[in-house]
Amino acid sequence: MRCGHFYGREYVVTRPDVPVSFTNYLGLEDFVTVISHNAGGYSFYQSPRHHRITRFRPNGVPKDRPGHYVYVRDDDTGEYWSLSWQPVGGSLTENRYEARHGLSYSRFLCERGGILGGQTLFVPQGDAAELWDVKLENRSGRARSLSVFGYCEFSFRHAGMDNQNFQESLCAAGSRFIDGVIECRLRREENGRQFFTADFEPDGFDTLRDSFIGDWRTETNPAAVEAGACSGSQGTTGNHCGALMKRVRLEAGEGTRLLFILGEGGGETARALREKYSDADAVDHAFNALGRYWDNKLSVMQIDTPHSDMNLMTNTWTLYQAGLNVLFPHSVSFAEPDGDAGPGFHDAAQDALCIPSAEPEGCRRRLLQLLEGQSSEVYGLRPFPPECFGDERSAPGDALWLAAAVCEYIRETGERDFCGLSVPFADGGETSVYEHLKRAVDFASAHTGVHGIARRLCGDRGGGGESALSSFLYVWAAGQLAELAKWLGRKGDAGKYRALREKAAQTCEAVLWDGRSYRQGFPAEDREEGADPKAAERIFLESNVWAVLSGAAAPERARGAMDAVERFLYTDYGLLLNAPGFPAAEGESGLAGRDYPGVRENGAILSHSNPWAWAAECVLGRGDRAMKYYDALCPARYNYIADLRRAEPYSYCQFIMGRDHPLHGRANNPWLTGAAGWAYYAVTQYILGIRPGYDCLRIDPCIPRDWKGFSATRRWRGAEYRITVKNLSGVEKGAILILQDGCSVEAVKPVSAGSVSLVDVVMG
């Protein structure tokens, strides 16, 4: 089943009856909307949990209700429809419906009964409001009298209040219409106001949901739209909405343009924004500014390879998704619409690690927030973001992700002074960023179990015992810190952390290799073993890929480990997290035991972990296999089987059902994953091999042998590097010649900001 296609930087949904919601994110600052291809969804201001603007009924029937809807009624016949296919619905053969998701905007098109209508939703930068730019054109060949209704349902602000304790919430809300503005207020909060207004003088309004919708009706058949008139309802208590109506007369061939504004604040704010956007040119200017914003972000790297799906995803959609994960908590989605606290310390650190090239300011801000969330004992407090910090402490590996992320940020920006910034601890006191990193690595070094590898603490998979993943992360982070110390001229620290890295790597090699692959770790010392008869057969993805990425694995073992990954974990839809799945919540199953086999942590295809395998194969020089794994997970590849995948073909999902589940291949929880950041990182730094260092830009591709080459434009430290790679010998890895502006070099040297440097690479 094909539901749409890619067009430039848009995904065009041509079949709105796709079996699941195809979603998008509007807003880059405080006001955010999560919207579906049928205009269903919700908005919030700053906090998805504590400051909702509009309501959403998750996991409901029908899907995606309510939303940000525009209804059109033919006043001569009484027929009505919505500009998005839902909520009214309508024949998909007699009418044309289309949804276009772009970068920070969504557009809904409908052609019905000779009327072409469009509704574009976006959040302008600098304003806490969402604009609904509505255009109608009469193509029927005769004059038409129409009524246009804009409608949204206000929330009780708190996600919890919206779904419980209606005795309190229904009594605390009120709404009114004054001077063309609908204002909704939650009386219990001083600043609890939201508004809905328009750039026209309304011919009718409703602020009470039940008056607009009517008894025993839904958004599909609102009483006001059916009657062709609003009732003018307003008052205190109950459920509240924004509903504004305008009657228009269109001659044959004539069009009109209307603007609705949904926002945070009271009437004064609403009137100021109505004045600001009263001129259509101002609306167009705000919309075009979003395009310029993303042009700048995406231009940090643009690639042209023989792989069209890789070009499409890397140049636009993967970086778009990864950038939004830096801006917002992962829980801002339809899968977790309650606005849970956030992605956790380790996920937030990885988000910042993967894309400082495109989002340096956002990554820097995130890194400082995480550093401030580190206790003096070097636990990372969970969950994230910082306003949600509690007393729960996380695993030692979490702070190691942060150490690696800081190093990556400095390699990208060259900001040496960042290491010297003084940053407070969450539990009092402060020290430099550099000392924060040292404490993180030292903490992990001190917390080892009976086998000499890292202990599992709160937040680790497996719960208790010792962790191979954390141990390999320690090897990796200690090596990164040693490299940073050398660059800073701290020779003593460089030697210390090189020695610690080597010692930890030797320990991992001695105790984690089982003759075929690397173990996940060891269960808690007091836990009985033997309950799971498949334990000795089980292969784990993460321990094996990180044995390679950390450099701990000896070359022969590294190849053997990744051969085991291919043999036991590869499927047509990606690599399984483990196989076989855990039968029950016992033994060393940990988090996996809460899920059925083939689901999430228990033998599913965890998207977050898959790009690590792409990178590991590149370390081994096996570009064909890296591309095989990339293709298996690539969302764009599944554009033609939406009925199986049941997720957007432009976003990575949290996980895909594994082969132990009857729905093998079905994707779950789109957007809600750090996989996009890692996909971008693995493609750009390992497959294409364009990797920033402290003093140079290294070019070391690992590509399929049938690629004759590729080109890329990379912006780094204010200069532009135009890179051309030729692979006429048909190898997978190895650059035998690098020319920078005609001169042979081992690695590309930085040039002055504003310059353009030409780089030619010959593989062989």
Task: Write out the catalytic residue numbers.
Answer: 460
- In sequence order, the 6+-apart residues with CB closer than 8 A to the CB of 435 are none
How many Cα atoms are found within 13 Å in the side-chain-facing hemisphere of 518?
32
Distance CA 104, CA 124 (A): 9
Give Cα 515 distance to the centre of its chain.
38
Task: Report CA dihedral (445, 448, 452, 455) to the nearest 10 degrees.
Answer: -120
CB atoms within 10 A of CB 391: 6
CB atoms within 10 A of CB 489: 8
Distance CA 451, CA 148 (A): 70
Q: Which of 199, 216, 258 is closest to 71 using CA atoms?
A: 258
Q: Which of 382, 371, 381, 351 is closest to 436 using CA atoms?
A: 371
Check if the beta carbon of residue 156 is closer than 8 Å to that of residue 47: no
Distance CA 52, CA 48 (A): 6
Check if the beta carbon of residue 400 is closer than 8 Å to that of residue 441: yes
In sequence order, the β-bridge partners of residue 605 are: 656
**H or E element at residue 43:** strand 41-45
Distance CA 184, CA 157 (A): 11
In sequence order, the β-bridge partners of residue 302 are: 713
The total number of residues written for the chain in this structure? 764
Distance CA 277, CA 433 (A): 44
Amino acid identity of residue 444, one-letter, is: A
Check if the beta carbon of residue 102 is closer than 8 Å to that of residue 109: no
- Asked whether the bond before 670 is cis by omega within 30 degrees of 0, the reply is no
Q: Which of 655, 642, 533, 523 is closest to 590 using CA atoms?
A: 523
CB atoms within 10 A of CB 284: 11
Amino acid identity of residue 365, one-letter, is: R
- In sequence order, the 6+-apart residues with CB closer than 8 A to the CB of 491 are 485
Check if the beta carbon of residue 272 is closer than 8 Å to that of residue 264: no
Check if the beta carbon of residue 397 is closer than 8 Å to that of residue 473: yes
**H or E element at residue 759:** strand 756-763
Amino acid identity of residue 229, one-letter, is: A
Distance CA 682, CA 616 (A): 9
DSSP symbol at 374: B
Check if the beta carbon of residue 410 is closer than 8 Å to that of residue 357: no
Q: Which of 329, 400, 398, 323 is closest to 361 using CA atoms?
A: 323
